[in-house]
A and B are shown apart, each in its own frame.
Chain A
Amino acid sequence: SAVISQKPSRDICQRGTSLTIQCQVDSQVTMMFWYRQQPGQSLTLIATANQGSEATYESGFVIDKFPISRPNLTFSTLTVSNMSPEDSSIYLCSDYDPNTEAFFGQGTRLTVV
């Protein structure tokens, strides 16, 4: 299984600012995903990070708000832009190989004040 390192692990940010979350995998993976977990809720997929092309966003999520980069097969970033208190959540990155399972980074707990 891949080891996924995510940082920062937590942050408190002012509304209107942006935060970039980094996700590093210790091996090359085909797919990387970004999820949001709002307080008391399950995981909601934000987007699929594609290497060499634009990310694929799920309904309700847009690139201007959540720009994503995937410069290579081991690294991705998610930016939460122009933050508001409603963006306070845990953000998780994940890899997935259809032949195995999905594993998660340790998550970024974001609080917007």
Chain B
Amino acid sequence: QKEVEQNSGPLSVPEGAIASLNCTYSDRGSQSFFWYRQYSGKSPELIMSIYSNGDKEDGRFTAQLNKASQYVSLLIRDSQPSDSATYLCAVNYGGSQGNLIFGKGTKLSVKP
């Protein structure tokens, strides 16, 4: 059973702080990793993708991947109230198959 695990939260951080979101996955053959942001009542919006070990930065967002530990994280610097949402970790186990396995999501609340 291929699984993606996330803490459901809620994770509460003050405005301006760093929010750290974590995700573990069960299959070492996983190749592609994604973070999606989902506002209530909306569809998921791609935030970051990462394919190789290390860090990948895009603006205030940094994705970190450690395949040996089967761990992927998302850091949000200078958190804003508009970052308050549920963050979904998704893993592509299938290579060309394409279907993603989603974690249950972590609800982030950024307090002004």
Contact = CB atoms under 8 A, between A and B. Distances in A.
Interface of A: 1, 30-31, 33, 41-45, 48, 90, 92, 94, 96-98, 101-107, 109
Contact of B46 (A30, A31, A101, A105): A101
B41 A109 contact: yes
A107 B100 CA distance: 17
A1 B102 CA distance: 20
Interface residues of B, number: 23
Contacts of A98: 32, 92, 95-96, 98
Interface of B: 32, 34, 41-46, 49, 88, 90, 92, 95-105
A48 B99 contact: yes
B96 to A, nearest CB: 5
Contacts of A42: 88, 102-105
Given A1-B46, A96-B100, A102-B46, 4 more contacts: A30-B98, A97-B98, A101-B34, A105-B43
Nearest to B105: A42
Say whether chain A's binding surface is mostly helix, strand, loop, or mixed.
Answer: strand
7 contacts: A33-B100, A94-B100, A96-B98, A96-B99, A102-B46, A103-B46, A109-B41
A101 to B, nearest CB: 5
A106 B88 contact: no
Contact of A48 (B90, B98, B102): B98
B44 A43 contact: yes
Contacts of A101: 34, 46, 49
